[in-house]
Amino acid sequence: MSPEAGPLGVPRPARVRIAVAANAVAAVWYFAWLLHPDRIGNPWLYALLLAAEAFNLVQAAGFWWTVLHDRGQQQPSPKPMPTSRVDVLVPRYDEPEDVVGPVLQAAAAMRGATVTVYLLDDGDSLEMELLAAQCGVRYLTREHHEGAKAGNINAALARTDGEFVVVFDCDHVPHPDFLVRTLGHLSDPRTAFVQTPQYYTNADRNPVAAAASSQQALFFGSIARGKAALGAMFCCGTNVVFRRAALESVGGFPERSLTEDFELSINLQERGWRTAYVPEVLAHGLGPQDMAGYVSQQLRWARGCLSALGRLARATLPLRVKAQYLLSSLYFLSGWTALIYMSLPVVRILTGEQPVAAATADAFLLHFAPYFALALTTVAVAGAGTYRFAAFAVATASFWIHVTAALMTLARRRGSFVVTPKTGSGSWQPLSVWPALLAMLVLLLSAAWGLARSQDAGMVNNVAFAVMHLSVLGTGVAWALRPAALARRAAAGLPQGDSRWRSTVDHHGIAAVKGAPSREPVPAP
Amino acid sequence: MTATSAPALTTPRERIKRGLDVVQAARHQGLVTTAQLIAGVGNLAVTLVLIRVLPPGEYAGFVAFVAAYVLLRAVAAGATAAVALDPRLHGRFAPRALGLGVAVGVLVVAASGALASVTGLSVPAVVTLGAVAPGAAAMALARGRLYGEERALGTAATLVAEPLARALVALLLVPLFGATGAVIAVGAAGYLALASALLSARRGPSRPVDVPELTNRGSAAVASAFLLVAVVASQDVVLANRLLPGGEAGTLAAVATLGGAAYFATATIPLVLMPRSARGGRGSMAVAVSLTVALSLAAVAAVAAVPDAWYPLLLGEAYGGVQTLALPYVSAMAALGLAQVLLAQLCAVRRPGVAVGLGALAATVQLLLLLGAQTAGDVVTATVVSCALLLAGAGTATWLTARPVATPAGRLVPAGIDVAVEPPSVSQQALDVAARRRFFSGVPWLLLAAVVTGVTLRLLVTRGIWVDEAISIRQAQQPWLEMIAQLREFDVHPPLYHSVLWLVVHLTGSTSEWVVRLPSLVAGTALIPLFYVMGRDLWDRRTGLVAAWLVAVSPAAVWYAQEARMYAFWMLGTTLVAWAQLRIQRHGRGRLADWSVFTVSSVALMYTQWFTVLPLVVHHLVFAVFAVRQARGGQWGLVRRWSSSVLVSLAAVAPLVPLLLGQIGGVKSVTAGSAAIAGQAGAANSQMAAGNPDAYAVIANAVWALWGYHAASAMVLLGALWPLMLLLAFAALGRGRSRAVVVLGLVALLPPLLLFAIGFERRQFFELRYFTSTVPLLLLLVARLVASWPRGPVTRVVVPVVVAASLMAGLADQQLNHSNPRTYDFRGAAAWIDDRADGDDVLLYAPGFLHDELTYYSAGIPIVQVGTQLPPTPAGGRTVFVLGSFFEREGVSAQVGSALSQLKTSGARLVARHETANVTVWQYEVEGP
């Protein structure tokens, strides 16, 4: 029987192995051809192409390594610990009541332990205090709002004493069995935290959230399962259960980082703590509602992960863990490769210079096509179809975010923690994607100019490359330019709101847990 | 829990009522048909008398008038059908029809002088025509009412009254006024028949009208359907008069007279059928079909029984050659009569739109074929094809409407539970009509439009006969056994296609271009509805529609539907096999019907093309995987049926082994000796350059499969667009894939992949013609992609249209651009030579395998291969034509150059040089000795 692909996708390990093996052979076939000295055309362009290809090969190899450790099938959960005392922390900054309320209600309704829910309000809002009272949860605020989310949690840690600490972003609604499915993994006293996936319910009706969700699905599916098997899963900031002792051993969340969760994981791993991952969707959150939100989120992640590279380099970690963490951090340089790939046809059209020489297009295609096709196949197979074109297009159209983050990191410019907006503007947002629009304009003008100048096969080939990039970028920025129309389109025929729970429940058998209702009503925030 | 259908419950009383219905229907039909036959004989008798009485010139004028009168009546006859279906229309339309008829009549009379000079009719004849116009319209409606009210006697009376009145009035007036008297007699007879019809309608109580009311649109559709049938019945004669030389047109006129009699004999049957069928009269359809078949068979048998020697006696010496055409033409008219009955049934169940669509399709096909006709045989074949098409379409549509309908009594119920059958609250008839409507709402106009477009494109721009086709045509003209022996010795193909071609050639007695391409045309056209049905069955209606349109305009599908070779058969068979396999997999162990289709189609494919073995192996590998999975689950049903299918297939294919062994021996000896084998002499010339297959070869084959064949320069540019494939690959990320897509993908791609590998050893095998089976499967996959990927309301329309438009652009370039390296215009070259040659001239040609080609396109002069001895030059000198082609082949340029050099040396004078697509002709004048 084949495993059914749930929201995270469960691949067939045999297929993954075959795909990876074929991909590795194709990579050797391609690079052996590319690295031949006769291939050097314009040395500068060749060097750029080689750098981009090498970077992608490293990332690809890391991906293969990770997904080869994904066993797909979920391990049975250890027995829950119903007598445990758990503090549930819900940090809040400026999110509205209709977003926060459902989270508090759902958190208070969690089973499997003695739960105390705290709303950590950095917004000092009276309405929130009232809401907390209505929901029967405790309300905490602090005098000095330092250290952003990390500081908020640390302040709460000092005022609570539960054996375990759960952190939910204030837009992530937990399932009632969240603790039932996770706490057992902390029965091993060496385990510092149990992470669960982030899942965006608004992917049903918002294209940007859908694209982000597709990216998340690949990460929280094969990649996270593989990392967990390698002992290298890191904390993602929400939907996570900590052992208080572990947090206290590293002094709580690092407050000077933009990605406090990532650096916290490094700290914990350095102290010898283990990590665990439960690949079940146990909380539903809200993804970025528009491109501005997506850009803000990605920029923060990219800057945080890239700025953590130094810390990571210095960290004393097992090699496999360090390598895995490095791969995750370095992913945020991949925008540079997209920039290089887009530039090459423009340079060829405008100047006639090209990176690869002494080779016919036929030879290039013969060596490149199998590598390319198998690389995509591997992503498709390992991700069990969860990674979609929309996710790829948005990621590519956001190439400039990685470039900007890298430059800011190099310049040692500090950034501030920006909460991802939970409500979209639903309006035209060309400014949020202006670098991508600029790239499109350059590609378009180059292609037009090239075709006007010559219609030979070489020119047509490079114009086709430009058109390909234009199409991908165009898809990626479309949601910034016509959000309303595309949202309507995305909503057509897709399941809405809590219907997602049903697929989660069906695929992962949560409903089979004795006493659990078959359909838990979880309001869509 | 199992399910079963509740049995149909009939009481003895119902059975008796049903029997009475049948008897009544038979009596009604018998009476009216007898009257129709009497009318026919009466009209014939009057005509024969007038032939003898009137001088030839006046008789010709009379015949011209009758032709115009019949045309007028034919136009109005559509209204008869509509009123027959709903007699209430008579009251609604009679005043308007009369007004229209009067208006037309007044106009005709007013313009009689001008019309007389234009038509060649006499002024009195034109005036009479104007006078009968109101009567024709009124007659159409009055007779329709008689049919609709099921007044058999009245109908019979008006049918018989007309020739009787014509004879009587003519008897009075012809001696006084000659041809004008005859003309007036015809008009007066029409009015007397009208009076008879009106009187009959008033006599006795009329049957209460219990059929649903026909809307204006519906009545127009019914009228149009019958009008289109009339067009199919008559446009061949009209066009033949314009297109064919006098003798050929005369031959066709004689044949059409015989065929027209067969059609006329059954013309009333659908009109009697419609009202009975519309009110749910049981047995009426069976009676109508039986009577039509009986009359048709009688007509066909009568024509078949007439000895050849009788034709000159019956029709005159000038029509001695009619006998070969009479039988197919009368058969076609018989088929048309039956088709008309079936169309009437469609109208009766309120699907006149389907009837119009089918009629329009048949009329269009016939028209397109007629436009290319050169002989009476071509015209007859056009009519045979269109009538057969109409009959097949009408038969299928009627069968579909007659399928069992889910009714309250027929619903699925658990076994072992007695079901009390309650009387339905709505009538069975209403339920039937509703169910039939539901079914046909699934056969959209877009499909019919796709079929019409597809047929048109396949007939519109054709190329000349290609070398390999010429070989097949030559083979098909031999006795069958001799042809098979030839295939065994000198060919590389199995015998199915050749046998079909042989049958067509021997049945029609013609080897004209489109006759020999007819099997491919039919197979290529059949792909269109098959794609629709398959797409709808496997995925959804939208995919079916997109698939039908894509294959309708697909350049490769059009190309091979225009070629007298086996590739269209191969595509059709491959599609059937793939569909059958997917249906089998859908139903566990598979249904017997699907297994039968799979097995029969597989075997037929093996008899069509040896390379079929590649996709078939993939099919069976898929079955193997599927069977293993099922066997693991303890289910052995599929394994058993699959094994049986394999055994039956092997047994059925076994007789091919000696042929295959013979051909292998032939290939070995040929590869050791000459350059090519007869079966595909030209094949090598349409392939890509030598060398190993490469990435561009893959792209080129992909372009050929989807966008057709193009000039080398276009192929280079299209190949340069390969980065767009990367975009497609990206766009495929995360898209769902059904089992159907996976299986079709495997069957489509694995054979070319294997041939790509084989290509490193034998380069020529990596070429589309050896994996033509991939084309339909690839088109289906593209259709699925185009139908399912776009999500927005605009893109869901735009993307399919853009893809179809790109295919059409490819098609236009393929068909019209003579730079296409696969286009060889031997037809044009031969015509050029024919214009300049006379009997003593000679045609030299190279390479040698053009012999069959130049025999087919004979320019009427001897043909001699370059390098062989020319016949002696006559005293008066002569013209020597040198035709060369395939210059890229080794030695051809040298051969042609040598011949030209010798001519020059011998003092011959170059007069002209003619270049057409991939063919060059030189014209030399040679002095006499």
| CB nearest to B734's CB, from A385, A457, A465 | A385
Weakest mean pLDDT among B14-18, B250-254, B754-758: B14-18
Distance of alpha carbon B699 from the chain centroid: 34
Q: What is the pLDDT of residue B434?
A: 55
Q: What is the pLDDT of residue A157?
A: 93
Site from A12, A213, A362 to mutate, B interface, most B CB atoms within 10 angstroms: A362
The answer to whether B696 contacts A388, with C-beta atoms less than 8 Å apart, is no
B270: CB partners within 8 A, 6+ apart: B81, B226, B288, B340, B341, B343, B344, B345
Distance CA B143, CA B154 (A): 9
The answer to whether A467 contacts B724, with C-beta atoms less than 8 Å apart, is yes
The answer to whether B719 contacts A457, with C-beta atoms less than 8 Å apart, is yes
**Residues of chain B with pLDDT > 90: what percent?**
30
Is residue B833 pLDDT above 80, yes or no? yes
Q: What is the pLDDT of residue A503?
A: 38
Is residue B308 pLDDT above 80, yes or no? no
Rounded to two decimals, the ipTM of the complex is 0.87
| CB nearest to B727's CB, from A387, A460, A471 | A471
List chain B residues with CB under 8 Å of A468. Answer: 723-724, 726-727
Q: Single out the residue of B289, B28, B282, B288 nearest to residue B149, CA to CA.
A: B28
Q: What is the pLDDT of residue A219?
A: 92
The residue-averaged pLDDT of B770-794 equals: 90
Residues of chain B whose beta carbon is less than 8 angstroms from a beta carbon of chain A are: 694-696, 699, 716-717, 719-724, 726-727, 729-736, 791-793
List chain B residues with CB under 8 Å of A390. Answer: 734
Other residues' Cβ atoms within 10 Å of the Cβ of residue B359: 27
Site from A465, A469, A494 to mutate, B interface, most B CB atoms within 10 angstroms: A465
Contacts 24+ apart (CB under 8 A), A315-323: A315/A266, A315/A269, A315/A270, A316/A270, A317/A266, A317/A269, A317/A270, A318/A231, A318/A269, A320/A230, A320/A231, A320/A232, A321/A230, A321/A231, A321/A232, A321/A269, A323/A62
Nearest residue in chain B measured CA to CA from A485 = B792
Q: What is the pLDDT of residues B900-916, one digit of tens each?
A: 999 998 888 999 999 99
Shortest CA gap A352–chain B (Å): 16
Shortest CA gap A366–chain B (Å): 6
Q: What is the pLDDT of residues B878-889, one digit of tens each?
A: 899 999 999 888
Q: Taking CB atoms and an 8 Å cut-off, how many pairs form between chains A and B?
A: 83
Find the farthest-apart pair of alpha carbons in chain A and give their distance in angstroms, rounded. Answer: 77
List chain B residues with CB under 8 Å of A386. Answer: 734
Q: What is the pLDDT of residue B751?
A: 95
Q: What is the pLDDT of residue A511?
A: 33
Q: What is the pLDDT of residue A421?
A: 58
The answer to whether A380 contacts B736, with C-beta atoms less than 8 Å apart, is no
| Six token digits for residue B704 | 């050929």
Q: What is the pLDDT of residue B587?
A: 82
List chain B residues with CB under 8 Å of A372. Answer: 726, 729
Q: Check residues B424 and B340 and name the one with the higher pLDDT.
A: B340
Sites in chain A below the pLDDT cut of 50: 1-5, 493-525
The residue-averaged pLDDT of B278-293 equals: 81
Q: What is the pLDDT of residue B204?
A: 61
Q: What is the pLDDT of residues B23-68, one digit of tens each?
A: 888 888 888 888 888 888 888 888 778 777 777 777 777 777 887 7
Q: What is the pLDDT of residues B681-712, one digit of tens each?
A: 444 444 444 567 788 888 999 999 999 999 98
Nearest residue in chain A measured CA to CA from B632 = A1
Distance CA A279, CA B884 (A): 73
Other residues' Cβ atoms within 10 Å of the Cβ of residue A255: 18
Output Rg (C-alpha) for chain B, integer angstroms.
Answer: 32
Q: What is the pLDDT of residue A42?
A: 93
The answer to whether A362 contacts B716, with C-beta atoms less than 8 Å apart, is no
Q: What is the pLDDT of residue B677?
A: 44
Is residue B453 pLDDT above 80, yes or no? yes
Shortest CA gap A326–chain B (Å): 26
The residue-averaged pLDDT of B293-308 equals: 80
Sheet containing B909-916: order of strands: B863-865, B842-846, B878-885, B919-926, B909-916
Confidence of residue B329 (pLDDT cuts 50, 70, 90): confident
The answer to whether B716 contacts A457, with C-beta atoms less than 8 Å apart, is yes
Residues of chain A whose beta carbon is less than 8 angstroms from a beta carbon of chain B are: 214, 361-363, 365-366, 369, 372-373, 376, 379-380, 383, 385-393, 455, 457-458, 460-461, 464-465, 467-468, 471-472, 485, 489-490, 492-493
Weakest mean pLDDT among A430-444, B210-224, B605-619: B210-224
Confidence of residue B406 (pLDDT cuts 50, 70, 90): very low
The pTM score is 0.71
List chain B residues with CB under 8 Å of A375. Answer: none
Q: What is the pLDDT of residue A507?
A: 36
| CB nearest to A365's CB, from B695, B731, B791 | B695
Q: What is the pLDDT of residues B191-200, one digit of tens each?
A: 898 888 888 8
Distance CA B322, CA B316 (A): 10
For helices B323-348 and B352-371, the axis angle rounded to 10 degrees is 160
The answer to whether B732 contacts A389, with C-beta atoms less than 8 Å apart, is yes
List chain B residues with CB under 8 Å of A472. Answer: 727, 730
The answer to whether A472 contacts B730, with C-beta atoms less than 8 Å apart, is yes
How high does pLDDT run on average in chain A?
85
Q: What H or E segment, with its residue span, contains residue B919?
A: strand B919-926
List chain A residues with CB under 8 Å of B696. Answer: 361-362, 365
Distance CA B693, CA B756 (A): 6
| Six token digits for residue B540 | 């959804």
Is residue B407 pLDDT above 60, yes or no? no
Q: What is the pLDDT of residue B25?
A: 82
Q: Check residues A194 and B439 and name the one with the higher pLDDT.
A: A194
The answer to whether A392 contacts B716, with C-beta atoms less than 8 Å apart, is no
Q: What is the pLDDT of residue B588?
A: 80
Is residue B835 pLDDT above 80, yes or no? yes
The residue-averaged pLDDT of B645-662 equals: 94
Q: Let me know: does B146 contact B197? Beta carbons within 8 Å.
A: yes
Q: What is the pLDDT of residue B682?
A: 45
Q: What is the pLDDT of residue B410?
A: 35
Shortest CA gap B736–chain A (Å): 7
Site from A468, A473, A486 to mutate, B interface, most B CB atoms within 10 angstroms: A468
The residue-averaged pLDDT of B172-199 equals: 86
Q: What is the pLDDT of residue A497?
A: 38
Q: What is the pLDDT of residues A343-390, one digit of tens each?
A: 999 999 999 999 998 667 788 888 999 999 999 999 999 988 889 998
Q: Check residues B492 and B681 and name the one with the higher pLDDT.
A: B492
- Residue at token pair 């050893």: B761
Is residue B22 pLDDT above 60, yes or no? yes
Residues β-bridged to residue A114:
A85
Q: Check residues B732 and A4 and name the one with the higher pLDDT.
A: B732
List chain B residues with CB under 8 Å of A458. Answer: 720
| CB nearest to B723's CB, from A387, A388, A465 | A465
The answer to whether B695 contacts A366, with C-beta atoms less than 8 Å apart, is yes
| Six token digits for residue B36 | 């129709």
Q: What H or E segment, with its residue span, contains residue B865?
A: strand B863-865
Weakest mean pLDDT among B248-262, B341-355, B427-441: B427-441
Q: Let me know: does B926 contact B877? Beta carbons within 8 Å.
A: yes
List chain B residues with CB under 8 Å of A455. Answer: 717
Q: Let me know: does B727 contact A468? Beta carbons within 8 Å.
A: yes
Q: What is the pLDDT of residue A411?
A: 87
List chain B residues with CB under 8 Å of A465. Answer: 723
Is residue B218 pLDDT above 70, yes or no? yes
DSSP 8-state class, residue A290: S
The answer to whether A389 contacts B733, with C-beta atoms less than 8 Å apart, is yes
Shortest CA gap A12–chain B (Å): 16
Is residue B439 pLDDT above 70, yes or no? no
Q: Let me know: does B268 contact B84? Beta carbons within 8 Å.
A: no
Is residue B680 pLDDT above 60, yes or no? no
Handedness of CA A59, A62, A67, A68 (dihedral sign): positive
